[in-house]
Structure 1
Amino acid sequence: MRKLLVFCLDALCTIDLEYMKTLPNFKLAFEKGSMVKHVEPVYPTLTYPCHCSILTGKTVKNHGIIHNEIVDVENPRAPWYSLRSQIKGETLMDIAKFNGYTTCSLTWPVSGGADIDYNMPMIVPIDYQGDDPYQFYVNYSTQELLDRYYWKYEHYLKGEDKNLDEFTMHLALDIIEDYHQPDVMLVKMCDLDTVKHCEGINNDEVKKQLRKHDRQFGQILEAVKRFGDYENTNFVILGDHGQQNIKRHINFNLLLKENGFIQTDENNHLIDWQAYCHSASMSGWIQLKDPKDENLRQKVHDFLMKIKKDPQYNIGYVFTKEEADEKFGLASEKIDFVIEGDEPMTFDSTLSGKDLFEEYLKPGWHHSLASHGYLPFRDETTAFLAFGKNVKEGVVIERGSMLNEAATMATMLGLKMEDTEGIQWQELIK
């Protein structure tokens, strides 16, 4: 039976490929496989929407996961998306299981409670610092995995030195050995994204992290050779989005507040609002409180176009909700306009800051040195590499859409995904 193993590196950029070619395990993809060099993600280029698009072949308006976080003006600390039931439509994993393949998903976002044989989702809240992460896994993970492995590796989820990638890797190696390599495996690694956020996109720390991921991938390859079916496995290395170095920053809600669209009390707590900016990191979403008020819509549109003409604000793009839907499949009741910087820029939704252009290079600051959420066609893009039983050697597609990945991986398994917005990269398949 054909098999598929996906090794996902969060924030893998096209610019990483040249260095990856020199590493002992990643280089197999370049020597024995094929690739799509520039993969344009969906908009916004945020982790959770992109992971859902990878598995569904759909834009965010059609799979329903528009952001990492549930967007809510009244609750700026709303929870992140986490449950498979929040995704609309079928995923690659659903189709694989329906067709008799055993499935395994490790640390994949928005997979809690999914009908997957061996499932350990990304489910612990991003800011959780306590010592009981088990409470978040129970009822949403495969209980057999929790019973068998959690006690061995829970220390990787606790304390100052916690490391989700180490937890994921230990699970992956044990599952390949103990269950003789499930037919379809998703293994998602996070640390490359973290390093780039903190250090920027192209430096020695990034190379160090790529070397670590190369060693991890080598361990997976060896585990499959020892305990699985290496000869019939298709290996895929992919990213969910790229990252860009941040050049500017704006606290856009302060600008809306200064211009009368937001009202706060003396403690900067929200009292009322007519237009509000949600941060998608390197893009901003403007939501109207009353989207049926055409006078308000025109007033906000005129304001945004005025701001766009003023170079001090660095606004390079303004899209109406209709344009965002038509161009990018980005649609939600939370979005009436989308704005983005001319130079790479982050947007903040704070109401309490005093500086409209807060210093973005501040050590330890949450946006740090690089981020994502920007337009899909802007550098840096991500990439898709594959090698194995059903993948041709030496094919390089210069540019393509993330929406094609689900159908392509299904084809590697001898399956079809009918309900996608993408098409398979047939030229990669034997």
Structure 2
Amino acid sequence: MLFRFNNIIKVLGLLLVVTLNAQTKPEHVVIISIDGFRSEFYLDNTMPTPNLQEMVDKGVAAKEVTGIFPTVTYPSHTTLITGKTPVEHGIFYNTKMSENGSSGGWVYDFKEIKAKTLWQSVKEKGLTTAAVSWPISVNADYIDYNIPEFWSFTNPMDRRIATAQKANPKGLFEEVVKNATGTLEINDYNLSSLSMDQNLARIAGYILREYKPNLLTIHLPITDGAQHKVGRKGLGVRKAISGADNAIGIIRDALQKAGIEDKTTIIVSGDHGFVDVHSQIAPNVLLAKMGLYNKNNPKAWFYSAGGSTFLHVKDSNNKKMIEQIREAFDQLPLEEKSTFKIIDRDKIAKRGGDPNAVLALSGSKGYFFTNDADGPFISTKKGGKHGHYPDFHDIATGFVGYGKGLEKEMLIENMFLEDVAKIAATLLGADIDQPEEYYHVVLE
């Protein structure tokens, strides 16, 4: 089905109106990403999210946002800032994959992004930009005020010195600590406690008050860790989303104090949903039994993205070996075969996944993948995961739009993760090379 995006965004037959005349066009857009954001957080009025629920009541919200593949943080955040899928922006996984299939370091440098970003397009309009803890923003020349997501390679729990060194302009991190957060201990600025989201929001609030950027993007990460630990529900998840909602309140308060609240659009979205899991699958165990995988020089390997895993081969011309692997998984006993579905290359391409992967596996509800090549094929492991193919509600993320330039009191059925950047670009009159017509595909 074809949907035209011009002055009107049509999403499954419903209209999200973006007004572009001078009287209603916002001067500022704030994009808030909540890691592991789900629509239940704002559509369920028993959740501790008063800011989000007020914004839903007075703005626009979606019942679900279909993600890219895999539904993991760094590729998804790159889609949020480019309006492109991974095959276009070049970020396929959270981490780099080595030649032997092992996981390398996290992707963090802006130069890895191959598509035009919102930051660049806004700068080209002569406007100002800011980012706080946004993935893959290190060394981003298009961000005027940048506190990137970064940490020490020798002591990953300590993000303070590494962040200060990569902040732009130099001295900005020290400035925001002095004026927004006060002295930060190690655990005030990492993923170990709820205070991380609060401190990031205070930093963003200070930048909004002091510098009034036209575009500010901020990533709130704590809700992700809570759901990894216990799954979709639980007291820890409620605490984390309450903390993220409070962070939104801090940002809203800063906009008011800066005198720009009525000139601003706030967009809250995320990168993926979450799936409750009870078991992990190790497909490299089967490859090892077939004589195709060894740690130092594998002929083939599966590279895990949590809820999915991608098959890579050394020799892509060896069609016989590839077919043998597929047959091996097709012929597994029903109780093992039912734990996943095979995603072929055409289906990978539908959501922009790695074109170098021969095929992928996506876990059934309750299952995820590990890179392990020894031990049992399936073993018990409880918690929450994401990364699955984005064709069911639990893995979908959310969207709330509030403020100048957006329609009010509107609930839409579905949108795509790519739409977030396109909406923001339209509001600011920027160009991220988006087509006039957008195609929304109903996934198989």
Name the TM-score, length of structure 2 as normaliser.
Answer: 0.84
Partner of 2:354: 331
Structure 1 unmatched runs, 5+: 264-269, 362-368, 426-430
Shift of 1:99: 0.5
Which of 324, 328, 344 is the matching residue for 1:320?
Answer: 344
Task: Give the alignment partner of residue 81 of structure 1, picking from 100, 104, 107.
Answer: 107
Does the 8 Å CA contact 1:403/1:421 hold for their aligned counterparts?
Answer: no
Aligned partner of 1:266 in structure 2 is none
Match in the other structure for 2:15: none
What are the Cα deviations for residues 112-134 of structure 1, in whole angstroms up to 9, with x where unaligned?
Answer: 11120001111226884465742
Question: What is aligned with 1:120?
Answer: 147
Aligned partner of 1:410 in structure 2 is: 425
One-letter code of the match for 1:101?
L
Answer whether contact 2:268 2:400 (CA < 8 A) is retained: yes
Aligned to 1:274, which of 272, 285, 299?
A: 299
- Return the offset for 1:205: 2.4
Query: Any idea what SS the aligned residue of 2:379 has?
Result: coil
Q: Report the alpha carbon displacement of residue 167 of structure 1 after superposing the two structures with TM.
A: 3.7
Task: Indicate the residue corresponding to 1:171 in structure 2.
Answer: 203
Task: Please point out which of 9, 17, 32 is paired with 1:7.
Answer: 32
Spell out the pairing of 1:246-257 with structure 2 (5 A cutoff): 246-257=277-288
Please tell me whether the aligned partners of residues 39 and 384 of structure 1 are also in contact (alpha carbons under 8 angstroms).
yes
| CA-atom RMSD in angstroms | 2.6
Residue 111 of structure 2 aligns to which amino acid in structure 1? S
Q: Shift of the alpha carbon at 1:191? A: 0.6
1:225 and 1:388 mapped to 2: Cα distance? 12
Q: CA deviation at 1:254?
A: 1.5
Q: Secondary structure at the match of 2:40?
A: helix
1:343 aligned partner, one-letter code: K
Shift in CA distance, 162/138, structure 1 to aligned 2, threshold 3 Å: farther
Q: Any conservation in 1 of the 2:307–2:388 contact (CA below 8 Å)? A: yes
More moved, 59-68 vs 8-17: 8-17
2:271 is aligned with 1:240: yes
Give, in angstroms, the shift of residue 6 of structure 1: 1.4
Over residues 7-55 of structure 1, what are the superposed CA-to-partner deviations in whole Å (9 max), with x where a residue is unaligned? 2110011222234676432222112101122100111000001001111
Q: For residues 369-426 of structure 1, what are the alpha-carbon distances to aligned partners after superposition, in whole Å with 9 as ceiling and x for unaligned?
A: 101000112221111111111111022210121111111111222334334698499x
- Check whether the contact 1:33–1:391 (CA below 8 A) recurs between aligned residues: yes
With over 3 angstroms needed to count, the CA separation of the structure-2 counterparts of 1:160 and 1:203, relative to structure 1, is closer
Q: Distance in 2 between matches of 1:66 and 1:394?
A: 36
Over 3 Å counting, the alpha-carbon distance change for 1:257 and 1:127 in structure 2 is farther
- Asked if structure 2 preserves the Cα contact closer than 8 Å seen for 1:251 and 1:347, the reply is yes
- The answer on whether the counterparts of 2:283 and 2:369 sit within 8 Å (CA) in structure 1 is yes
Kindly provide the CA deviation profile for residues 327-369 of structure 1, in whole angstroms up to 9, marking residues without a partner as x.
2221333x11101223341100023x423222203xxxxxxx1
In 2, distance between residues paired with 1:89 and 1:375? 23
Give the 3 Å change call, closer, same or farther, for CA 409–111 of structure 1 in structure 2: same
Superposed displacement of residue 206, structure 1:
1.7
Q: For the structure 1 residues 220 and 132, does the alpha-carbon distance in structure 2 shift closer, same or farther, using more than 3 Å as the test? A: closer
TM-score (norm 1): 0.87
The DSSP-based 3-state class of the residue aligned with 1:197 is helix
SS at match of 2:146: strand
What is the alpha-carbon distance in structure 2 between the residues aligned to residue 422 and residue 372 of structure 1? 30
- Counterpart-to-counterpart distance in 2, 1:55 and 1:167: 22
Letter of the 1:82 partner, please give it: Y
Q: Residue in 2 aligned with 1:340?
A: 362
Q: Which amino acid counterpart does residue 207 of structure 2 have in structure 1?
A: I
Q: Secondary structure at the match of 1:50?
A: helix
Deviation at 1:251, TM superposition (A): 1.6
| SS at structure 1 position matched to 2:424 | helix
Give the Cα–Cα distance (whole angstroms) in 1 for the partners of residues 418 and 191 of structure 2.
38
Is the Cα contact below 8 Å between 1:59 and 1:421 reproduced in 2?
no
Q: Letter of the aligned partner of 2:398 in structure 1? A: A
Instruction: Deviation per CA, 1:238-262: give whole Å up to 9, x if none.
Output: 1111011014311221122122221
Higher strand share: 2
Per-residue CA shift, 1:286-311, capped at 9, x if unaligned?
A: 1112111122122222222223x632
Residue 148 of structure 1 aligns with which residue?
175
Cα-to-partner distance string for 1:138-183 (whole Å, 9 max, x where unaligned): 246431413423564442337976954244123112222322x211
1:356 equivalent to 2:377? Answer yes
Aligned to 1:260, the other structure's residue is in SS state: coil
Corresponding position of 2:134: 108
Letter in structure 2 aligned against 1:310: L
Where do 5+ consecutive residues of structure 2 fail to align? Answer: 1-25
Alignment equivalent of 2:389, drawn from 370, 375, 383: 375
> How far, CA to CA, are the matches of 1:190 and 1:221 in structure 2?
18
Distance 2:391 2:348 in 1: 14
